[in-house]
Amino acid sequence: MIAITNVRLIDGKGGLFEDATVIVDGADISDVSSTGAAQIPASAQIIDGNGMTMLPGLIDCHDHLASMGYGLADKWGLTEPLSQRHLRIASVLKQTLETGYTTVRDGGGLDAGFRMAVDEGLVPGPNLQVVLDIITPTGGIGDHASPSGYHHPAPPNPSVPNSVADGPTAARAKVREMILGGADAIKTGTTGGASSRPGLGPKDLHMGRDELEAIVDEAHAHKKRVMCHALGGPGLRMAVEVGVDSIEHGTHLDEDPDILPLMVENDVFYIPTFSVYIYHRARGTPHGRARSEELLEHHVMSLQMAMEAGVKIVTGTDAGGWVHGNNAQEISCLVGAGMSPMEAIISATGRAAKCLGLDDRIGTVESGKAANIILVDSNPLDDVTTLEEGRSVRFVMKGGETVVDML
């Protein structure tokens, strides 16, 4: 049993307590109270949190932990032996956990074996949800063909099935194939993006409504949530109308504001992923840089309009391909776009847990929840950038196990 005393607590629900004591018993939090009122068992190990701020373990709802670059050879995994790539991914998992992220939903590329390895304790890392890959029709954003038209030259990887499906029947079958492969959620995409091929831009629709309806219906029949890559145009509206569970990116929501009340009504989460467009503006392909510059003003306006409408906004970096280990940059991006520091932290904790369907166990610091907690030597309500790259992180606990202790 561990008692962390005298700590400033941001509980993930909007609560701020200046002098709290949190008691951890096994894998769970057993008590949260003021330090003066706390009843600490004599057998408990006491950690003095004076000068520290406690937060729930942070959550990234859209990462790409297996992605190491945007070049075709990197995407296809041709730059190094597969064993070396897997060990590199293991290093990324460890780094992500040590910077305060105790839960991550991977948005494509990571197979279920990594989740199983973390759960078994073979490698340190955050608790994982995986989707395996993004389901789209031929020519969609999930069709990983080269500009020459050639596809991946290596044999198919049974752990990450080919994700192309044409027509509603094939789309249903692909959902089942992903679930058979260990997917915790299903990912699809109705539009292009900043980095997609020329001719498949952020507002270009590239999926039939019957295909999307089949994907959502089949996923929900198996109690799997659906995350949908959709930036703007008719593909964005269609995704909300059909009933996906989260919109990834949503950069042009501002151009169709009538969608916002429907997102609230349908309980659709919004994951803006500002971080990825920072990369594309600075280091993307020429057409990717141009697209990212064009969408910046729309993206900020979309977030502000979504906040005003009461849409549930959560953090996701879409990281991978340029940097790992700075997931908290997305929290800073939300604040920079107009969100308060407290709301941004909720978006990375309590509300993010709801997006993943895990709010019964994680996301907040309260009795009965899993002991996923971090201590930082700053007050992120004064400056959320101190969370970036884990600079202020001094203590990380996941499921009651201490994984970082620099107190």
Asked if residue 123 is part of any domain, the answer here is: yes
Q: In the prediction, which pLDDT does 54 show?
A: 98
Listed residues 327, 351, 377: the one ending a domain: 327
CATH number of the domain where residue 131 is located: 3.20.20.140
248 and 305 belong to one structural domain: yes
235 plus 298 within the same structural domain: yes
In a domain? residue 245: yes
Residue 277 within any structural domain of the chain: yes
75 has pLDDT over 80 = no
State pLDDT tens for residues 187-220.
999 999 988 888 889 999 999 999 999 999 999 9
Whether 287 and 168 share a structural domain: yes
Same-domain check for residues 188 and 110: yes
Same domain, 255 and 306: yes
Q: Is residue 346 domain-resident?
A: no
Counting the structural domains of the chain, the total is 2
User: CA dist 26 to 23, 249, 363, Å?
Assistant: 10, 38, 18
Q: How many CA atoms lie within 13 A of 379 on its CB side?
A: 9
Residue 77 pLDDT exceeds 90: no
Is residue 307 located within the same domain as residue 191? yes
Closest CA to 396 of 388, 407, 405, 387: 405
| Amino acid symbol at 188 | T
What is the pLDDT at residue 289? 85
Same structural domain, 322 and 176: yes
pLDDT score at 404? 98
- Specify the CATH number for the domain of residue 9: 2.30.40.10
* Residue that terminates a domain, selected from 305, 327, 349: 327
Please enumerate, as own/partner, the contacts of 389-392 that have beta carbons within 8 Å and a separation of 24 or more.
389/99, 389/325, 389/326, 389/328, 390/98, 390/99, 390/100, 390/325, 390/328
Question: Band of the pLDDT at 316, cuts 50, 70, 90?
Answer: very high
Whether residue 275 sits in one domain with residue 377: no
Examine the domain organization and report whether 49 and 73 are in the same domain.
no
Confidence of residue 321 (pLDDT cuts 50, 70, 90): low
316 lies in the same domain as 291: yes
Contact predicate 13/346, CB 8 Å? yes
Interatomic CA distance for residues 265 and 243, integer angstroms: 10
pTM above 0.95, yes or no: yes
- Let me know whether 67 and 207 are in one domain: yes
**pLDDT, mean over the chain:** 94
- Strands 2-10 and 45-48 turn out to be parallel
Per residue in 217-256, pLDDT tens? 999 999 999 999 999 999 999 999 999 999 999 999 999 9
Average pLDDT over residues 297-310: 97
